[in-house]
Structure 1
Amino acid sequence: MSTTESTFTFRSIALPALLPSLLFAIGEGSVIPVIPAIASNLGATLAIAGFIAGMTMVGQLVGDIPSGFVVGRIGERRAMISAAVLAIVAVLVCMAASTPWLFGTGIFLLGLAAATFALARHAFMTSFVPAQFRARALSTLGGTFRLGWFVGPFLGAAVIALSGTSQSVFWIQGVCAVAIIVVLLIVPDPTEKLMKPDAGERLVVGESHGLFSTIYSFRGLLVRIGSGVALVGALRASRTVILPLWAVSLGLSEANTALIVGIGGALDFALFYASGQIMDRFGRLASVVPCMVGMGICLLVLAFTHDLPGAVTWFIVLTIALGISNGVGSGIVMTLGADLAPKDNPAPFLGAFRFTGDLGTAAAPLLISLVVALVSLPLAVGVMGVLGFVGAGILVRYIPRYEPLH
């Protein structure tokens, strides 16, 4: 039995990885839903407010470029601390902003911090968790993110109600970032005790590579599995765009929309550990195929229900089904990345892998907006449903080829 296998427990990752991830997700979850409203209050038009809201994703895409190099150079824990410091800077900029463009700059910085933090915690789990526990550990990490996004908006609403100003919600992100720094400085880093061969040496030992050279080095793998992962990201991002738009088109109130989407989100969160068990016991395809096919079916059915009697009931049922389908695939992208990453220095590859997935996440809202503008919302929903089947087919074809045997 290797050193890692004998020392690993799920409790050993709770404080150094899961708690900081939960805190960061709570901060993000409290802030992101109110970004358009704050931008509008600062004088932005509806189009500009939407653009500023998208700066989080732009920041993450840009942040993916240097994040693998940074984590590879300074290590996971220092990178997470640096990301938390950058998040504090972003919070100060957003709270002091008096114009939409300054506010957008702060949101962009928040996206940069999110990219570095996400890669650092992913690399940490890849380095520390033995392969036979990997999917459960990474799906648990995905579950903490879902929990943070579930809790954050409620905390944000409470702070806004008490303070009377929407920008005060950034206090939550700031407090969470400070708490992350304190936790990471106090809690011992378990990866310092690791030795080869299971998890490899600390990342600072390995050579760090830039994003684009890493993409070139792994171009075959990223074109094949990466395209499937990009479609996973695209379908997940489409949910956050399609469901609110569909609710508006049906004339539902904001409160009812939030309740319906919240129920789907709760079921999504509830399945995170089950997803990890499925992947560890039956393989990665047993999780990702039901996830993608399930979301594809739900979106295709939804596309034909807009003008049917009981359209609201269809919307409720399919929103819940989408949450269940997505929950079955909790942690799949991180797990595939960890499976495929080089053991001696995973961060550069994980940065390239995340960049590929984030391209799909960023492209989906643009595609939906384009189809809605040119044709209709139901067609946009149907297109995303078809892409779910395409993504499942790509991953069925290539995961057995690239997934290592453990």
Structure 2
Amino acid sequence: MLVRFAPMIYGPTLLFAVGEGAVIPLIPVIANRLGADVAVAALVAAALVVGQLCGNIPAGWAVARFGERVTMGVAGIVVLGGLTGIVLAQSLVFFAAAVFLIGFCAASFALARHSFMTTRVPLAFRARALSLLGGTFRLGMFVGPFISAALLGLFGDETASIVFFAVCQVATILLVFLGPDPEKAVPVGAPPRRGDGDSREAEDTGEAVTGAIPTVERAGVFRTMWRFRGVLARLGLAAASLSAVRSARQVVLPLWGVSLGLDAGTIAVVVGVSGAIDFALFYASGQVMDRFGRLWAALPAMVLMGSGFLALSFTHELGSAAMWYAMFAAVLGVGNGLSSGILLTLGADIAPPDEPAAFLGSWRTLTDAGGAIAPLIVSALTAVASLSIGVGAMGVIAVLGAAGFIRWVPRYVPRAR
């Protein structure tokens, strides 16, 4: 059943990711044309991530209340408004607001499919299905810039890439509203039995449990956050550290190459090879998680990326610094590839089976916050001390995150997972 509806399950996510990937590289360019310097252009580009961070909780509420199909369809329509704003923007403030709006709606696509997989994919291959979902995002971000470059070469104007994103969104809206609805066609799986790792079982509030077993009650987003504060503050923070390390990799590799005095072509090749290794391993991560357990993917990923950052931080002044840079970029690519889908899978494992969307909104807010803060940490430590100190700090965060996974994954996720 899931295979038959794969285009409807993965199609909207892939279309959105390809269109977004085509536009993301152009955001700083357009911002610069509107009068922004390098620092302000970077801030405008960050509006996309901030928008997604702010959109997770509203998206969780919308999916829980209106369903995945309506949420994705409406979000697609709003994205068209954001793209129109980008084309018509004559000021930085208006342009940044349009970018923020697109990021805000991106949360709806990500969370809707995450919620769908949580309730409908059998536990036996949940990690592989979610790793494939994560792979669609990576594929879109990998292919989108190349499509954008081709369109720029053909038309010589950024508007062509924005129109391409708009066409992807129109196709997404039509697919969502006119195609078969997988929410109705694919049955909801049975909720976990008591003791099977439901996060409600693991939550330790210190209160004695008495009386009859309560019936299922629809809880709001903020009530859900409070109800599951224990798992969010523990395993959620470990997951945020993984998101931070992933995000730091995207910032550190280009900066390190620049600090070594390498030319743009060499840096692009090193970053591209690291990204290719990362993309090649996304499905292997799901296989490992389904066969051996979640910790077998999370722990090696954190150890590899942590040791890669720590070792890289000591190589800047070496005579063979460029060689070490290329080698540790590959190590970081392997580590990031092995972590593909782990945040989606852990969120699905510990989400309440009766109403996962509200919980997943909180979970994704935490992980996205980790990804948003990491570049700020690297930037601040580089300004105060040096880039090596900033890179080493991300290695320390990875080590602490690995310790968090060792401590909390066995507690909240059973061995069967």
* TM-score normalised to structure 1 length: 0.93
Deviation at 1:213, TM superposition (A): 2.4
**How far has the Cα of 1:34 moved from its partner?**
2.1
Partner of 1:343: 353
Cross-structure match for 1:185: 177
The answer as to 2:73 corresponding to 1:63 is no
Cα separation, 1, equivalents of 2:341 and 2:39: 33
Aligned partner of 1:203 in structure 2 is none
| Partner in structure 1 of residue 11 of structure 2 | 19
- Write the letter of the residue equivalent to 2:241: L
Q: Is the alpha carbon distance of 1:43 and 1:167 closer, same or farther for their aligned partners in structure 2, counting shifts above 3 Å?
A: farther
Contact 1:69 1:208 in 2 (8 A): no
Query: Is this contact kept in 2: 1:26–1:152, CA < 8 A?
Result: yes
Encode CA deviations 1:164-220: one digit per residue, 9 max, x unaligned: 2234321222111111112222321223145565269xxxxx865443322111100
Pair 92,351 (structure 1): closer, same or farther in 2 beyond 3 Å: same
Task: Say whether the 8 Å CA contact 1:299–1:384 is kept in structure 2.
Answer: yes
Quick check: 1:353 aligned with 2:363?
Answer: yes
Tell whether 2:332 aligns with 1:287.
no
Describe the shift of the 1:44–1:174 C-alpha distance in structure 2 as closer, same or farther (beyond 3 A). Answer: same
| 8 A contact 1:79–1:116 mirrored in 2 | yes
Identify the range of structure 1 (166-175 vs 96-105) with the bigger mean alpha-carbon deviation. Answer: 166-175
CA distance in 2, matches of 1:33, 1:355: 24
Quick one: which of 249, 260, 269 aligns to 1:239? 249
Q: 1:376 and 2:394 equivalent?
A: no
For residues 5-404 of structure 1, what are the structure 2 equivalents within 5 Å?
7-8=1-2, 11-195=3-187, 198=190, 209-404=219-414
Structure 1 Cα separation of the partners of residues 29 and 17 of structure 2 = 20
Q: How many residues are matched?
A: 393
Whether the 8 Å contact between 1:68 and 1:209 is mirrored in structure 2 is: no
Partners of 1:296 and 1:142 lie apart in 2 by 22
Relative to structure 1, the CA distance from residue 60 to residue 209 in structure 2 (aligned partners, 3 Å threshold; closer, same or farther) is farther
SS in 1 for 2:262: coil
Offset at residue 12 of structure 1 (A): 3.1
| Cα pair 1:95 1:167 within 8 Å, conserved | yes
Letter of the 2:358 partner, please give it: P
**Which whole-Å CA distance do the structure 2 matches of 1:32 and 1:152 have between them?**
9
Per the alignment, residue 3 of structure 1 pairs with: none
Task: Say if 2:119 and 2:189, in contact at 8 Å, map to a contact too.
Answer: no
Superposed CA RMSD in Å reads 1.6
Change in CA separation of 1:197 and 1:159 when aligned onto 2, cut-off 3 Å: closer
| Compared CA separation, residues 167 and 373, structure 1 to 2 (3 A) | farther
TM-score by length of 2: 0.91
| 2:229 partner amino acid | R
Report deviation, 1:285. Answer: 0.2
Q: Is the 8 A contact 1:68 1:208 kept in 2?
A: no
Deviation at residue 158 of structure 1 after TM alignment: 1.1
Rounded Cα–Cα distance in structure 2 between residues aligned with 1:64 and 1:85: 18
Q: Which has the higher helix share?
A: 1
- Assess if the C-alpha contact under 8 Å between 2:80 and 2:166 holds in 1: yes
